[in-house]
Structures are given as C-alpha cells and as structure tokens.
Amino acid sequence: MLAASLDRLGTETAFEVLARAKALEALGRRVIHLEIGEPDFPTPAHVVEAGAQALRDGHTHYCPAPGLPVLREACAAHLSRHRGLEIDPARVLVAPGAKPFLFFGVLATCDPGDEVIYPNPGFPIYESVIRWAGATPVPLPLVEDRGFAFSADDLAERLTERTKLVILNSPANPTGGIVERALNVEIGHLLAEHDCWILSDEVYSELLYDAQHDTIASHGLLDRTILLDGFSKTFAMTGWRLGYAALPEALVEPITRLLINSVSCTAPAVQLAGVAALTGPRDEVELMRAEFRRRRDAVVEGLNALPGVSCVTPQGAFYVFPNVSATGLPARELAGRLLDEAGVAVLAGTAFGEYGEGYLRLSYANSLANIEEALASMRFLLEERVPV
C-alpha cells in the first residue's frame, strides 16, 4: 500500500537537472546553471549574525511546534502590513520551509475523490501532493496571451460540487506571471458562492517589478485562505528552511498536529534569524530586487533575439518562460540538447505540467555575465542545429 502511494508522489525536475549538470561539471564540462530557483546572493549579514547569536545564546533545543511566539508575531505583523490585512499571530504557523504547508494544506482539507484546481504550468509539487492525497487534480491553464494568467470564467468552468481546494500562485513559478487585483476581485466574487478552501502561494510576493502585490485573502476570503509565504526567496535563505502560513482558524489545530507528527518543530535559531529578516533593514533585499530586474530585462531581450524563440516579460519572481515552439523541437528534447551540447542547464516547460509544452523555464538567478554567455551558447546551438 505504501509503495502504491509513493508511486503517486512526484518530484521536482529542477533538482534532477541540477544533479545531471553537476555530473557533467565533475567530468570537466562548463555548465551555466539556469535551472535551479534560488537567489545567487548571500543571506543578509544581519540575518546570519542573528542566527549565529541565537546558537551562541543556547537556542539549540526543542521549541513549540507552531513556532516561537516572537516569530509568529513578526510574521503576522508583516502580513498585516504588506497585505493590508489584520492577521492574528495565533493563526500563523511556522515550518522548515514553505513546502510543508502545501503538503499539509492539501492533507488537512481534502479527502480521496475531492477535486483540487491548481495552476498549470505550475509548481510541480502541487499536482504531486494532490495525487498523493488521493484527490483529483484539475489543471487551470495559464495562457501566454494573458501574461500567463487565467480568467475568472476559466476558473468557473472547473468548479464543481467536488471542488474542495483552489490553489493560486502569484507571482508564479515557472512563468513569472501574476494574478492582478482586478482578477482577484472577480475570483473573490466567484469563490464567495462556492464552499471550498483556497491555498494562496505567495512566496515570491516581494519580487515584483512592475506591479503591486495583491492577495485573494484581501477580497473577503481570509477565513478560508491558507496564505503561504517564506524566507527563501525574499531574503536569499533557501538553505535555512523557513516558511510560514496564516491559516483559517479551523485549520490551525489539525496542521499543528501534522507538524508535530512530522518535523516536531522548526530550529529556534533559524526562527530568530527570521525575526531579524522581517524586522531589520531591507537594503540588501532592495538591491537584490533591482539586480533581478536588470537581469530580467537583459534575458528577455536576449531570448527574443534568438531564432525560433519569443518571450513575454514576466512581472515577478526570477524566471522567464520563453516560447520555443517555433524551433521545431519538443521542449524536453531542446532542454536536453542545451545542456549536453551548449552547456546551459534549463528546464522543459513540461516539467511544470502538460500546458508547459512548447516552453522552457530559465532562472535568471545567476550573474548577468553568465546569462549573456548562456544566451550566446543558445544562439550557437539554435542557429547551427535546430531546423527553422
């Protein structure tokens, strides 16, 4: 029975491609990494020092499973300020990364046979967890013509009496698209009439370039929304493993039990570093965002100059999702050839769902010099090897 359940559990192709790229590097090959989604900046110094000081001060033991009160309060204050909401710290839980809340959010709300609507192309863990829980995944296509968004009608067509959860992601991985306020207003009206939970994945909420962040939770649905955020992207803290979520009151106790049964608690020194991140200076965060914007503009311009490639400008995160259908190659084959022949590690759009065919995902969390080198290598391959 366990083996059958594990067969339903998917993976993240980014880590598989990273391993393959590292193997090539071990053989002496030069590889430019545009596959993995993590900032290439150091964690801000004051955050590192706060974590180190916490260890020196003896914060090396168990702590409450829901999280340290000081961090839960800081998270609630940040969400209230940044989202324009009133968040009760008692409804904020902390975990080692954001993924546990995706996993536990589905497990706490869905039974086998329930339907879960999720964005496609989208973060692959959504579909993986839905299937593992025995629920039925219902993909919501993100359309390039809309800047990789969807319409309220698209969502309405997929809502049924069996819909138990709707997953939203803005800014989005892998496309960099966003759910704009006008669309959230429509979604709010639509879901107000439907009895389901919402999981709003907002881990890239502070990596926006041309728009203001808007959350579905601010449109009358806070009491039904799992509002998910974390420290990995905003503060370059991927290896610290620290995430949090503001939960509907009814889900606080069951998800706390899931935390106790799985991770016990989140390392207290890491949590105290999180307090420093949320309450300390934002200079390094702003510098990182400005540099990401510069890279975004460069990579979009460079991709649009390649034969057979077109790329819309993403509004958030640090990914581009270029259309490569005019190259005549399936996305997976092209991604493989780019790694093997050009030394450029990227992901096929199909790693993010069926509606990713014809696209690649590139992370611009790499230096501008490396991005320019990668574009030159891609041009060489596309001009010499790909039929047009």
pLDDT at 33: 96
How would residue 1 be classed by pLDDT, with cut points 50, 70 and 90? very low
pTM of the model: 0.95
Q: Tell me the three state secondary structure of residue 47.
A: helix
Angle of helix 99-109 relative to helix 124-132, nearest 10 degrees, comes to: 40
Give the model confidence (pLDDT) of 203-219 as tens digits.
999 999 989 999 999 99
Instruction: Give 264's contacts (C-beta < 8 A, 6+ positions apart).
Output: 62, 65
Q: Is the pLDDT of residue 386 over 80?
A: no
Classify burial at 122, counting beta carbons within 10 Å of its beta carbon; exposed 0-12, middle 13-18, buried 19 or more. buried
Block residue for tokens 């053989």: 27
Mean pLDDT of the chain: 95
Q: What is the mean pLDDT of residues 114-139?
A: 97
Q: What is the mean pLDDT of residues 197-205?
A: 98
Q: Please state, in angstroms and rounded to a whole number, the distance separating the CA atoms of residues 240 and 365.
A: 18
Q: Which stretches of 116-247 are DSSP H helices?
A: 124-132, 152-158, 181-192
Instruction: Give 244's contacts (C-beta < 8 A, 6+ positions apart).
Output: 67, 71, 72, 75, 92, 93, 94, 95, 98, 101, 228, 229, 230
Block residue for tokens 């990227």: 346
Q: How many residues does the chain have?
A: 388
Phi, psi of 197 (to 5 degrees): -90, 160
Instruction: Identify whether the C-beta of residue 127 lies closer than 8 Å to the C-beta of residue 110.
Output: no
Give the model confidence (pLDDT) of 37-93 as tens digits.
899 999 999 999 999 999 999 999 999 999 999 999 999 999 999 999 999 999 999
- Token reading at 226: 């799992």
